[in-house]
Structures are given as structure tokens and as C-alpha cells.
């Protein structure tokens, strides 16, 4: 049965997930990191080569994040390192026993709406803020996180790329009598973004690892 996603979203947002009473999750920021800006993949590879194969710990937004101990070598290679708050860049997926409003307020992203909890992803600082707001956090299950399978309808072929940019794992797309349709894997925050963009979204599998 095709369901109305906006109504579901609204209902879910108002519903407080059931608290199981797990032990508080310790959010460890890990070793200190420094960031360097790289222009493209070639420069990233050349830098790793110049570092003797030492790989970055994280990457994103045109930046590579290395252990703090490499700061001087990076500077010597022409890449001025910038101290970063590891809690701002390291992320985690957790089960959250709170409301969607609390998740949104923390800045974390909603991955799955499960009957007994919300699966969310956020930086350690975002998750710390969520925890500080009174939301209990717990480790995800061994098979989490996994996207939902969705069918998305849209007016034009060009919208397929818009869905791609939102972050949906597109399996396949094809024209329909009224526009275009694709199937893919999506988290709840992708679905919310697609709905907000005016696309029709239908969940075609609701497998849960709970």
C-alpha cells in the first residue's frame, strides 16, 4: 500500500521513542587531529606518497585529517595544518531514545525510524549535545545502519541527478507515463529531503534489524 510520507513523518516527529534504559554511551573523541586542505584527489595521493604512505584518518570537504603528530611534516611539505576539534569531525551512528525534535535540535541526522528508537548519525559533539539534552544513546545493532529501499517519482529525468545529490544510492531509473521513477536506498533524512523537494517517495522494503 502506498503511504503518505509527509503524514508519517509528522506522526513520527510527535512520537517519543520508548526508553529501554541502556547504559550511557561513552563518546570518545579519539586522538587529536589536524586538517590540511587539498585541491583534488591527485594532490591527496601525492601528499600520502610524500608521507611514505601514511593515510589520513578522515576526509571530507576538501580536507584530509591526520594525526596531530604529523603536523610539522605536513607544514614542511607545503600543507599548513590546522588544529581541529576531533569531536567536530569524527562521527558515529547510535540508537537514540528520544524525539525527532531532540535529534534535529542537536544537528544529528535521522537514519532510521525504528519502533523503539531512532537511529541517528552525528558528529561526536552533536551526539554529546543530544545526550546532554536527556536522550539516552546506545550502540547500533551489528547490522545497522542500512538504508530503506524506496521508489521515488519525479517530474523529469534531470531530477534523477537531484536525488543523487541528496545522497540516495540509486539502483536504477526509468521513464514513466508521467515523468521519471527510480529505485534506490535511502535513509530517513534523504527521504525527508526528497519529500521537501516535492518528489513522491514510497518505501518498498521496511526491513528492520531490531
Partner 1 sequence: MRRLSAILLAALAAAAPLGAQNITFTTWHTPAQVDYETDRLQTRFPSLVRIVNLGNSLQGRPIRAIKISDNPALDEPSEADVVFVALHHAREWISTETALFIAEQILLKYSTDAQVQADVKAAQIWIIPVMNPDGYAYTATVDRGWRKNRRNNGGGTWGVDLNRNWGFQWGLIDGASDKPSEEEYYGTGPFSEPETRVIRDFLNSRKARLEAFVSYHSYSEKWLRPWNYVLNDPPFDPTLASLYERSRDAIAAVHGHVYGPTLNYTASGDALDWVWQEHRIAAFTPELRPLNFGLGGFEPPVTEIIPTGQENTPAALALIHDAADTEVWIKDHPADTGAEPSAVWSGGGWTHAFWLSPDIWTDPAAPLVEGSTVDLHVRVRNASGGLLAGVTVEAYWTDPSISTEFPGPGSVLIGTHTLAVGAAGAEVILPWTVPSGTNAAGDRHWCVGVVIKHARDMPLTTQATRSSNVAFHNFWTVEAPAGGEMMMKVTATNFLDVDAELKVVLGELPAGWRARLPDLHTLAPDTTYGEPGEEDDRLALERKGRLVQATGTLLRPGERVMVPVWVTPPAGAPPGTTADLHIHGGLVPLVAGERPVLGNGFTYRIVVRNP
Helix/strand/coil (H/E/C) assignment for every residue in 39-84: CCHHHHHHHHHHCCCCCCCEEECCEEEEEHHHHHHHHHCCCCCEEE
CB of 29 to partner 1, least distance (A): 11
Angstrom distances, CA of residue 5 to CA of 122, 150, 195: 23, 11, 7
Q: Counting contacts by CB under 8 A, is residue 151 touching partner 1? A: yes
Site size toward partner 1 (CB under 8 A) is: 59
SS3 112: strand
Q: Which one of 29, 179, 185, 200 is in contact with partner 1 (CB under 8 A)?
A: 185
- Single out the residue of 20, 22, 31, 60 in contact with partner 1 (rule: CB under 8 A): 60
Tell me: does residue 161 bind partner 1 (CB under 8 A). yes
Radius of gyration of the chain (CA): 20
Binding mask 72-91 for partner 1 (x = CB under 8 A): -----xxx----------xx
Q: Site residues (CB under 8 A) for partner 1?
A: 30, 38-50, 55-62, 64, 77-79, 90-94, 111, 121, 139-140, 143-147, 151, 157-158, 160-161, 163-165, 167, 169-174, 183, 185, 187, 204
Amino acid at each position: 500500500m502506498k503511504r503518505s510520507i509527509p503524514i508519517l513523518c509528522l506522526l513520527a516527529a510527535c512520537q517519543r521513542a520508548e526508553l529501554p534504559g541502556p547504559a550511557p554511551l561513552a563518546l570518545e573523541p579519539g586522538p587529536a587531529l589536524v586538517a590540511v586542505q587539498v585541491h583534488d584527489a591527485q594532490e591527496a595521493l601525492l601528499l600520502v606518497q610524500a608521507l611514505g604512505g601514511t593515510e589520513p584518518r578522515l576526509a571530507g570537504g576538501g580536507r584530509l585529517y591526520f594525526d596531530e603528530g604529523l603536523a610539522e611534516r605536513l607544514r614542511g611539505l607545503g600543507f599548513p595544518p590546522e588544529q581541529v576539534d576531533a569531536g567536530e569531525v569524527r562521527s558515529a551512528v547510535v540508537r537514540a531514545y528520544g524525539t525527532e525534535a531532540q535529534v534535529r535540535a542537536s544537528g544529528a541526522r535521522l537514519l532510521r525510524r525504528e519502533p523503539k528508537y531512532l537511529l541517528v548519525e552525528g558528529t561526536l559533539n552533536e551526539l554529546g549535545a543530544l545526550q546532554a539534552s536527556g536522550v539516552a544513546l546506545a550502540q547500533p545493532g551489528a547490522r545497522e545502519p542500512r538504508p530503506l529501499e524506496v521508489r521515488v517519482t519525479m517530474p523529469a529525468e534531470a531530477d534523477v541527478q537531484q536525488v543523487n545529490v541528496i545522497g540516495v544510492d540509486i539502483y536504477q531509473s526509468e521513464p514513466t507515463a508521467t515523468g521519471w521513477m527510480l529505485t534506490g536506498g535511502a535513509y530517513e533524512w534523504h527521504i525527508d529531503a526528497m519529500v521537501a523537494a516535492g518528489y513522491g517517495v514510497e518505501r518498498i522494503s521496511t526491513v528492520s534489524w531490531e
